[in-house]
Chain A
Amino acid sequence: MMCNNISKLLFIGSAVPLGRLDKLYSAHKEVINFLYKDLAISLCAGSVCPGKYRIILDADSVEGVHSMELLPEMLILNGDNKLSVLAEMLYTCAEFSYISDSALLQQRLKSSYAEFRDKAIPESVLGLVLHNPMEDSRVNRLLASWYSRGIEHFKQGNYADAVQCFRHRGLGLTPAGDDFLIGMLLGMAWLMRVQKKELSRIMDLILHESDVIDPLIRTFILQAFRLELDADWAGLLNSFCDHGSSYKPWLHKILSHGASSGADQLSGFYLACDLFGTGMDLPIKSL
């Protein structure tokens, strides 16, 4: 059994429930998603960044794991591989509070957007909208037109219609449109903290209209809504208000999430900042 090679736990998210999980939702080389109620708890290889609903193992692959049981001081894989759980392995999310240095925030956000715009892969949401599909694919062109329409609806304040233009639409195992909505919610939740914006009613509406059935997407959406960030996103958002740190490594890490998931979430995040933030003035609104 492959998982016998796994001998160490690196991080354990604070929202991972105690008890046994053995209902598989999906399995990949680096991630196995177990069903827990209507959410997904992810058991991940060391290359995946820590998150509140994730367990990160010191391993290149998690293939072969079919069950896990979390006890207060131990994680048991496949019933027999026992790994110690130490207090320092617990991953809790970063907290964000009001940022008084708005100049730094605005400058960092604009620079990071400029870099993101140049690097976003053509198949991501903003990639499709900005570049108009390079490839001669009607599917991509149609997706681009749905996304453009969705952005227009967001700009007009037609949030319910906007969500329908993104929800479950697009390429990838979490369709790009869902990743975009995750990024929007994350951006809005962040603005509520750092710029004290009142966006809760719009966020409720987006969450309601998203009406997600897929447990993995639901987990991501809830995390965004509650601003329960994984380590890469926390690093990026912290760098926007810290003179001593650079946003670049975090931006690069997020861009490498999935095929286009990271870029799609960033697309939504930047649109949220452009529409609802103060003094951010990104050029997305004028698309």
Chain B
Amino acid sequence: MIAKATIIQGMYLDSVKLMLISKELRACKGVQDAVAILATKENREILAATDMLIDAIKDAKETEIVVVVKANSMAEADAALASADTLLHAKVGKRAGKSKTLNSIKSASASMEKADLCLISVAGKYAAAEAEKALDMGMHVMLFSDNVSVSDELKLKQKAISQGLLMMGPDCGTAIINGVPLAFSNAVPKGRIGIVSASGTGLQEVSCGIANRSRGISQAFGTGGRDGKAEIGGIMLCACLEYLMEDNKTDVIVLIGKTPVDAVQHKLWKLIGSSTKPVIVNFLKDMQVPEIKNLSYAASLEDTADLACKALNDSLPVEVKCFKFDFAKPNIAKDRKFIRGLYSGGTLCYEALQLYKREFGAYPKSNIAAESKDMLSNVWHSEGDCFIDMGADDFTVGRPHPMIDYSLRLKKIAEEAADGTVAVILLDVVLGFGANADPASELAPVLCALPTNVAVVCHVLGTAGDPQHIEEQLSKLAACGARVFTSHLKAVNDAFTLLKAHRRENG
């Protein structure tokens, strides 16, 4: 075993960065242990006890940070330290001027005179003021931040409308404007379908579904989840819908979101009825909609993409790009009888609840249940059939979103599999810009170590153009025994089919 170390001098790093570096180094090839730690006398005792206090750092000052790596060979230790150096200096390089750090909308705008859209992601209490500044400067706004009050949201949206500007959000995580993916979104080609969505992963699932059917989108607007509520009155849903109705690059319109209040629905139906363009609507639950000639109501996100592509009527076949994998029948243990959905995408989790109700007649337990009787009493402890949105606030405090950081979900997957009553684990794996760079490699060690008498079903949301290479992701997951699907509907149906068959066979 070889230990190598380096002292970090003249560089200030925050604790989060130190922990991430330790974690990344431990994942390097051949590395047995690694730590980036303050060289206090006491911490050096700990390093000594683990054979990691080597001469190179014995003289480190108490206020200096040391990076120590223990690896199988000198070459692997050197490689790990080199990657530590890269990780450490990544930020410094950025500060040194390769990319500009700008500290206000004013300075950002001054550095890019033609900018007309401002993406804002700051602490909630400052977000409204920043959005207002951007609107005052004549820019469209995508407000990624949440924790903005309803009254501020209303004020901002009214202001935007009066100036003919877009105000997407607050809590708007996905949009594709003029072909540019913003925040969490996927590589989707340009095309003639326009999307308005009050849901982030809903927009991602449908836009990927369109791309995987060899079609593209003109614009994909996010409105924020509260736009359809009475307080906001569907201001942006209506404005974006009107834009797409007028837009000569859009032939078919898709409208997605949780069911708006009646008054907003009424406005939307009226607008849709005044257009000649086909409009595909999905309000994420089974419902009756008025009979309007150009309106189609989709029963799932998958159907939404499919109907939209078909409505283009472009004489090309509507076929889904298929990645074929053969799945063996899982050997689920007799005592295992429940399904556990562990989601990073809120809308996907919500859709799974609706599909479950359609299949089994009642809602399962969840942390995002609409009714209190279906709410999990403790979000950290699953019970019966249950579906958890791990992107909810309870799970994201002090951590990056689970689309980026898989650590908590990995822990949860292992816990669920260790629970002898769980038959099927259902996961979503979201690819695209902003998401984890290689989720399958994070999941693989955990999935491969699971007992073989539990089934794992994965929905991989993405397109062939996404930076993570969807085919590789699917193959890696399938190699660990996961049943992989690029459609959420198909993944959920597969999971339910397995569950029902298993329950039938075991009484």
Find chain A residues with CB under 8 A from B12 CB: 26-28
| Minimal Cβ-Cβ distance residue in A for B20 | A259
Find chain B residues with CB under 8 A from A252 CB: 393, 397-398
B43 near A168: Cβ-Cβ < 8 Å? yes
**Chain B 53-92 interface mask (CB, 8 Å, partner A; 1/0):** 0000000001100000000000000000000000000000
A63: Cβ under 8 A from any B Cβ: yes
A232: Cβ under 8 A from any B Cβ: no
Bound-state CA distance A58–B125 (Å) is 11
A259 near B14: Cβ-Cβ < 8 Å? yes
**Chain B 31-66 interface mask (CB, 8 Å, partner A; 1/0):** 011110110111100110110100000000011000
Find chain B residues with CB under 8 A from A255 CB: 397-398
In-complex Cβ contact of B15 among A139, A142, A172 (8 A)? A172
**Chain B 1-29 interface mask (CB, 8 Å, partner A; 1/0):** 00000000000111110110011001000
A139 near B38: Cβ-Cβ < 8 Å? no
B397 near A119: Cβ-Cβ < 8 Å? yes
Bound-state CA distance A59–B399 (Å) is 22
Say whether, besides A119-B397, A171-B19, A261-B15, A143 and B104 are in contact (CB < 8 Å). Answer: no
B38 near A173: Cβ-Cβ < 8 Å? yes
**Chain A 108-132 interface mask (CB, 8 Å, partner B; 1/0):** 0000000000110111000000000
In-complex Cβ contact of A169 among B33, B42, B125 (8 A)? B42
Find chain A residues with CB under 8 A from B15 CB: 171-174, 258-261
A61: Cβ under 8 A from any B Cβ: yes
Say whether, besides A119-B397, A169-B46, A213-B62, A2 and B18 are in contact (CB < 8 Å). Answer: no
Say whether, besides A175-B38, A260-B15, A135 and B26 are in contact (CB < 8 Å). Answer: yes
Q: What is the minimal beta-carbon distance from B64 to any residue of chain A, in angstroms?
A: 11
| Minimal Cβ-Cβ distance residue in B for A141 | B50
In-complex Cβ contact of A139 among B35, B380, B398, B411 (8 A)? B35
**Chain A 27-39 interface mask (CB, 8 Å, partner B; 1/0):** 1110000000000
B274: Cβ under 8 A from any A Cβ: no
For window 242-278 of A, CB contacts with B under 8 Å fall at 252, 255-256, 258-263
Find chain A residues with CB under 8 A from B393 CB: 252
A190: Cβ under 8 A from any B Cβ: no
A173 near B18: Cβ-Cβ < 8 Å? yes
Bound-state CA distance A200–B62 (Å) is 30
B107 near A5: Cβ-Cβ < 8 Å? yes
B43 near A142: Cβ-Cβ < 8 Å? no
Q: What is the minimal beta-carbon distance from B342 to any residue of chain A, in angstroms?
A: 15
A167: Cβ under 8 A from any B Cβ: yes
Bound-state CA distance A61–B102 (Å) is 10
* A interface residue numbers (CB < 8 A to B): 2, 5, 26-29, 46-47, 58-61, 63, 118-119, 121-123, 134-139, 142-143, 146, 167-175, 177, 213-214, 252, 255-256, 258-263
Further contacts, 13 of them, CB under 8 A, given A137-B33, A175-B43: A29-B14, A47-B122, A63-B101, A122-B411, A137-B34, A138-B50, A139-B50, A142-B49, A168-B42, A255-B398, A258-B15, A259-B15, A263-B398
27 A-B pairs within 8 Å (CB atoms) are namely A60-B126, A61-B101, A122-B411, A136-B26, A137-B34, A137-B35, A138-B50, A139-B33, A139-B35, A139-B46, A139-B47, A139-B50, A142-B46, A168-B38, A169-B42, A169-B46, A170-B37, A171-B18, A171-B35, A172-B38, A173-B15, A173-B18, A252-B397, A255-B398, A259-B18, A260-B19, A261-B15
The 10 closest A-B pairs by CB, nearest first: A259-B15, A168-B40, A172-B15, A118-B380, A168-B42, A259-B16, A138-B50, A256-B398, A252-B397, A169-B42
